[in-house]
Amino acid sequence: MLKQKLASRKPKRHAIIEEILKGIQLPFSFQVIVVSSRTISEMLMSARVPGRGEIIARIFKHLSPVTFSLIQRAVPLSGRLNFYERSFAYVLTNVANGEEKAKKVFRKGDVAFMPAGSMICFFLEDTRSYKPMNPLGVVASGLEVLGASRRGDCLEIQSIAAAAST
């Protein structure tokens, strides 16, 4: 019933606005151009494990804006790769931040920041974490590089930059 009322109001409002605008002459014209279908919140993180391959992750500012900014300022980062029960790979950082929109359940391919250890984590399988983590984004390509890496390999986070428009 409520949906019907709302649906019936919409055309009336639209018709009223059209009627008002019908007689108005604007001294200029404009055109709307869609530049990209991506969100302005999306950034691309480029990382590599020397001798193994490249990793590209889609990072979203709106998931953890303060954490994102701190990590972006700290880039380039590099550190030794470690694993927690092969469920996620992580690298220690010098970024210090608390919990921000934290959660404990992550899916394969997710990227998160663990405040308790100042670590950037890449999830290799669906995982329930024992500590809350700030979500950052998802690995777009190269998850197999992390899966094939070994403890002690160097992970270099080279850049976090705006996604190229398509």
Q: What percent of the chain has pLDDT over 90?
A: 23
Per-residue pLDDT at 160: 84
Q: What is the pLDDT of residues 102-133, one digit of tens each?
A: 899 999 999 999 998 889 999 999 989 889 99
Q: Is the pLDDT of residue 10 over 80?
A: no
Q: What dotted CATH number matches 42-162?
A: 2.40.100.20
Whole-number mean pLDDT of the chain?
Answer: 80
Which H or E element spans position 6?
helix 2-22
Q: What is the pLDDT of residues 62-77, one digit of tens each?
A: 888 898 889 888 889 8
The C-alpha atoms of residue 151 and residue 92 are separated, in whole angstroms, by 13
Higher per-residue pLDDT: 14 or 36: 14
| Domain residue limits, the chain | 42-162
Per-residue pLDDT at 114: 92
Q: Is the pLDDT of residue 152 over 80?
A: yes
Q: What DSSP string describes the chain?
A: -HHHHHHHHHHHHHHHHHHHHHT---SS--------SS-TTEEEEEEEETTTEEEEEEEEGGGSHHHHHHHHHH-SEEEEEEEETTTEEEEE-S-----SS-EEEE-TTEEEEETTTTEEEEESS-EEEEEEEEEEEEEEE-HHHHHH--TT-EEEEEEEEEPPP-
The C-alpha atoms of residue 107 and residue 128 are separated, in whole angstroms, by 9
Contact 113, 97 (CB under 8 A): yes
The C-alpha atoms of residue 134 and residue 121 are separated, in whole angstroms, by 10
Q: Is the pLDDT of residue 154 over 70?
A: yes
Per-residue pLDDT at 18: 61
The C-alpha atoms of residue 18 and residue 10 are separated, in whole angstroms, by 12
Per-residue pLDDT at 103: 92
